[in-house]
Amino acid sequence: EPEVTQTPSHQVTQMGQEVILRCVPISNHLYFYWYRQILGQKVEFLVSFYNNEISEKSEIFDDQFSVERPDGSNFTLKIRSTKLEDSAMYFCASSDRLATNIQYFGAGTRLSVL
Amino acid sequence: KQEVTQIPAALSVPEGENLVLNCSFTDSAIYNLQWFRQDPGKGLTSLLLIQSSQREQTSGRLNASLDKSSGRSTLYIAASQPGDSATYLCAVRPQGGSEKLVFGKGTKLTVNP
């Protein structure tokens, strides 16, 4: 069964460093999303991406964050200068939207900012 | 602003019991509602999606209902098994063109053998 793949599974970084989280969405999907879940809290929407541009973003998604689809398969989330409060599980999701509207999630990347 | 609440936060039941998980949302203007399962340290697995025009969806031992006007959904699990132990999340997609899902905090279910 097709699945969303995220790498790495765990990323440890120092405060102020840049990180790139990678995702390979399901191959025929056109809509891509990033969410995050701080430990013990709700899953929160960050950004959605369609047709090579951001279609929607939340208040959390400030200038420190950016997304990119550098080639036909990868979808990345970059955090320019990490803060302690960026420590969370980051989930990538994809959807074909027109057919089922179901968002399929990856296993997540746990980001630890020290 | 849409808020999603799930009650109870945790539930422990003996194997074989039928159970109901509850989800409520403050704004009835939703496009759809999705139930997920989350295992510890893992991603979210989609269980059921109910469109706003539907009243329920079934998959195996799972049945999800939606009462949009009252802002409620329930997930019914029949004949629970230890393998059902996980956190169950409810998420709504608001109407109006938004792509985002708004999540509840989840119900942590433990099914004891």
Per-residue pLDDT band at A8 (split at 50, 70, 90) = very high
The mean-pLDDT minimum among A8-12, A95-99, B75-79, B103-107 falls in A95-99
A103–B46 CB contact, under 8 Å: yes
- At residue B75, the pLDDT reads 97
DSSP single-letter state for residue A59? T
**Could you report the per-residue pLDDT of B32-85, keeping only the tens digit for each?**
999 999 998 788 999 999 999 999 999 999 999 999 999 999 999 999 999 999
How far apart (Å, rounded) are the C-alpha atoms in residues B93 and B91?
7
- The reply to whether omega before B14 is within 30° of 0 (cis) is no
Q: For B1-13, how does the pLDDT look when each residue is reduced to its tens digit (9 = 90+)?
A: 899 999 999 999 9
Contact A43/B103, CB-based, under 8 Å?
Answer: yes
CB contact (8 A) between residue A56 and residue B99: yes
Q: What's the pLDDT tens digit per position in A18-43?
A: 999 999 999 888 899 999 999 989 99
CA nearest neighbour of A36 among A48, A45, A28, A27: A45
Which one of B99, B101, B103, B105 would you mutate to disrupt binding with A, by most A Cβ within 10 Å of its Cβ? B99
Alpha-carbon distance of B39 to A1, in angstroms, equals 19
- Residues in chain B with CB shorter than 8 Å from the CB of A41 are 105
Q: Return the percentage of chain A with pLDDT > 90, whole number.
A: 80
A56:B98 CB<8 A: yes
Q: Are A45 and B102 in contact (CB under 8 A)?
A: yes
For residue A72, pLDDT beyond 90:
no
Nearest to B104 among A42, A108, A110 (CB): A42
**Cβ A30 vs Cβ B73: under 8 Å:** no
Q: What's the pLDDT at B1?
A: 87
Instruction: Sort out which chain B residues have CB atoms less than 8 A from A58's CB and list them.
Output: 100
Grade residue A100 by pLDDT with cuts at 50, 70 and 90: low
Give me the pLDDT at residue A74, please.
92
Binary contact (A56, B103; C-beta < 8 A): no
Region A57-81: mean pLDDT is: 93
